[in-house]
């Protein structure tokens, strides 16, 4: 089954404790991206990657790091989480279609930083 | 600064009637627009898209209209069904690199 998986699905952590949220896709997609969803703000893009070893900042990259060493994986790293990073995070992947880029989203990771 | 705006946080329609969801954008460089549907506790799922060279795209009960001069797009669902009840996000992209999403409209279809 074609899918994007994220782990963990739920995470409660404390300020300053480094964490990684993993994202993996099995569709051989070149493009992968991370978003956060907050009430009243919709989805905002954190980082995206056009292919292996190619990453770029989205709209809200501060406080986050990413890496793309393999095509299927795109982990999101919070080196020193802060309470304002409490959010619902989504990973997505896509490949070019005749129309454009139709992204497939993972189920989300709800992160709480206390 | 929100480049894609959905000014209606919620919308209720009767089953069988038309649902119209609206979206406005500010960046004239956007060339690709999408609509996603999101159920609680799930990730968004792709619904329909349109490129800036077209003004209409249909897929079954779903039609997206693009008015470039007004920087406005809309999603029409006809006929609306209870299973359409979800949060709908519009999104825009410039050349498929960065994506900008609206804040979402919660649609409730009343049986």
Three-class SS of B47-103:
EEEEECCCCEEEECCEEEEEECCCCEEEEEECCCCHHHCEEEEEEEEECCCEEEECC
Q: At a CB cut-off of 8 Å and minimum separation 6, what does B40 contact? A: none
pLDDT for residue A99 is more than 70: no
pLDDT for residue B95 is more than 80: no
- Looking up tokens 């978003």, which residue turns up? A35
Of A69, A66, A35, the C-alpha closest to A52 is: A69
- pLDDT score at A97: 66
Among A42, A48, A99, beta carbon nearest to B97? A48
Beta bridge partners of A111: A11, A87
Secondary structure of residue A20 in the 3-state scheme: strand
- H helices present in chain A, as ranges: none
B51-80 residue pLDDT tens: 889 999 999 999 999 999 999 999 999 999
Of A73, A43, A71, A74, the C-alpha closest to A58 is: A43
**What single DSSP character describes residue A18?**
-
B26 min Cα distance to partner chain A (Å): 15
What is the overall mean pLDDT for chain B? Answer: 94
Q: Is the separation of the CB atoms in A7 and A110 below 8 Å?
A: no
Name the band, by pLDDT with cuts 50, 70 and 90, for residue A98: low
- pLDDT score at A62: 97
Q: Is the separation of the CB atoms in B102 and B7 below 8 Å?
A: no
A43-60 residue pLDDT tens: 999 999 989 999 999 999
* Chain A residues with beta carbon closer than 8 angstroms to that of B44: 43, 90, 105
Name the band, by pLDDT with cuts 50, 70 and 90, for residue B101: very high
What's the whole-number mean pLDDT along residues A58-83?
97
pLDDT for residue B97 is more than 90: no
- pLDDT score at A1: 85
The residue of A4, A36, A100, A110 whose CB has the most chain B CBs within 10 angstroms, and thus the best one to mutate to test that interface, is A100
Q: Which residue of B has its CA nearest to A91?
A: B43
Q: Do B51 and A100 touch (CB under 8 A)?
A: yes
Q: Do B104 and A108 touch (CB under 8 A)?
A: no
Q: At a CB cut-off of 8 Å and minimum separation 6, what does A73 contact? A: A22, A23, A24
A36 phi and psi angles, rounded to 5 deg: -125, 145
* Chain B residues with beta carbon closer than 8 angstroms to that of A4: 43
Tokens of A36: 């956060």
What's the whole-number mean pLDDT along residues B6-10?
95
- pLDDT score at B100: 94
- The C-alpha atoms of residue A68 and residue B40 are separated, in whole angstroms, by 29
Angle at A1 between CA B81 and CA A67, to 5 degrees: 105
- pLDDT score at A11: 97
Name the band, by pLDDT with cuts 50, 70 and 90, for residue A89: very high
Q: Do A58 and B98 touch (CB under 8 A)?
A: yes
Q: Which residue of B has its CA nearest to A31?
A: B97
Q: Is the separation of the CB atoms in B94 and B36 below 8 Å?
A: no
Q: Do B46 and A104 touch (CB under 8 A)?
A: yes
Name the band, by pLDDT with cuts 50, 70 and 90, for residue A85: very high
């Amino acid at each position: 089954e074609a899918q994007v998986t994220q782990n963990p699905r739920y995470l409660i952590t404390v300020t300053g404790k480094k964490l990684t949220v993993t994202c993996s896709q099995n569709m051989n997609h070149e493009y992968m991206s991370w978003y956060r969803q907050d009430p009243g703000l919709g989805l905002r893009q954190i980082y995206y990657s056009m292919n292996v070893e190619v990453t770029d900042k989205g709209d809200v990259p501060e406080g986050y790091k990413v890496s793309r060493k393999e095509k299927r994986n795109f982990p999101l790293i919070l080196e020193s989480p802060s309470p304002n990073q409490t959010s619902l995070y989504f990973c997505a992947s896509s490949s070019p279609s005749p129309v454009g880029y139709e992204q497939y989203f993972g189920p989300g990771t709800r992160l709480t930083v206390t | 600064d929100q480049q894609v705006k959905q000014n209606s946080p919620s919308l209720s329609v009767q089953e069988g009637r038309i649902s119209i969801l609206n979206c406005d954008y500010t960046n004239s460089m956007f060339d690709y627009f999408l609509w996603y549907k999101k159920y609680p506790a799930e990730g968004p799922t792709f619904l329909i898209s349109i490129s800036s060279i077209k003004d209409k795209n249909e897929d079954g009960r779903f039609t997206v209209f693009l008015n470039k001069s007004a920087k406005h797009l809309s999603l029409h669902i006809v006929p609306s069904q209870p299973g359409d009840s979800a949060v709908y996000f519009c999104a825009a992209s410039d050349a498929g690199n960065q994506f900008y999403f609206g804040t979402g409209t919660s649609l409730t279809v009343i049986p």
